A and B are shown apart, each in its own frame.
Chain A
Amino acid sequence: DAGITQSPRYKITETGRQVTLMCHQTWSHSYMFWYRQDLGHGLRLIYYSAAADITDKGEVPDGYVVSRSKTENFPLTLESATRSQTSVYFCASSESEQGSPLHFGNGTRLTVT
């Protein structure tokens, strides 16, 4: 089925470990995004990508790395997880036309112990 899927849905990891969150979309949307949702902060943009091999920082990029070798995939890596990175992470995609709505995945709940 067409859509945007995130994996895993839930992840528990220890401080200092590297962890990668996966995101795959089947629409061939140009734009892809990673957001984190935290109480009192709403959704904050971590990184985004306008096309394959083009990525840029959002509002809260520190401690995260992204890549986009293929249009449909946009993995997010926490190089050395910290407790402050405990959050719910949402991947989204959109068409390139300005104002096009974002389509979100169902999220990954990450707990760093």
Chain B
Amino acid sequence: DQQVKQNSPSLSVQEGRISILNCDYTNSMFDYFLWYKKYPAEGPTFLISISSIKDKNEDGRFTVFLNKSAKHLSLHIVPSQPGDSAVYFCAVLSNFGNEKLTFGTGTRLTIIP
């Protein structure tokens, strides 16, 4: 039973427009929510995170929104750039330590020039 779901395996967005990636989770005990970005033949790299006490966190072009009542997490990228083309994984962390990080299945984002 997947605790973290990314229901869109792929997404294509025009350069300059907003990219919105979504993630749903099942356990209200999750405490931290993170997004990782992965290029081919490389390991994932940390992008942005949010704790459960917040509902928004912004870092440059990247904003993460957390809706605890809906158990929904989203990542907004605006404006989208060709270098943003990658696979994005959301990950959730329970309040029991870093060993409990659980990843979603990923969404492949393609930015169309």
Q: Could you tell me which A residues sit within 8 Å of B by CB distance?
A: 4, 31, 33, 35, 40-45, 48, 50, 56, 58-59, 90, 92, 94, 96, 98-107
The one of B4, B49, B51, B102 that contacts A101, using a Cβ cutoff of 8 Å = B49
Report if A98-B45 is in contact (Cβ < 8 Å); known contacts: A42-B103, A42-B104, A43-B89. Answer: no
Kindly list chain B residues whose C-beta atoms are within 8 Å of the C-beta of A48.
99
Report if A45-B43 is in contact (Cβ < 8 Å); known contacts: A98-B95, A99-B93. Answer: no
Secondary structure at chain A's binding surface: helix, strand, loop or mixed?
Answer: strand
Q: Cα distance A104–B51 when bound, in Å?
A: 21
**Residue B31 at the chain A interface, CB threshold 8 Å:** yes
Kindly list chain B residues whose C-beta atoms are within 8 Å of the C-beta of A41.
105
Cross-chain contact A43 with B31 (CB below 8 angstroms) = no
Cross-chain contact A105 with B101 (CB below 8 angstroms) = no
5 A-B pairs, CB-CB below 8 angstroms? A42-B104, A98-B32, A99-B51, A99-B93, A100-B98
Scoring B residues 24 to 47 as 1 if CB is less than 8 Å from chain A, else 0, what string do you get?
000000011010100001111110
Kindly list chain A residues whose C-beta atoms are within 8 Å of the C-beta of B43.
4, 90, 92, 104-107
Interface size on B, residues (CB 8 A): 26
Q: Cα distance A101–B99 when bound, in Å?
A: 11
Nearest CB on A from B9, distance (A): 9
Q: Cα distance A92–B104 when bound, in Å?
A: 17
Nearest CB on A from B48, distance (A): 9
Across chains A and B, which 5 residue pairs bring their CB atoms closest together, nearest first? A104-B43, A101-B46, A42-B105, A43-B103, A99-B32
Cross-chain contact A50 with B105 (CB below 8 angstroms) = no
Q: Cα distance A50–B99 when bound, in Å?
A: 8
Cross-chain contact B99 with A90 (CB below 8 angstroms) = no
Looking across the interface, which residue of chain A has its beta carbon closest to that of B9? A40
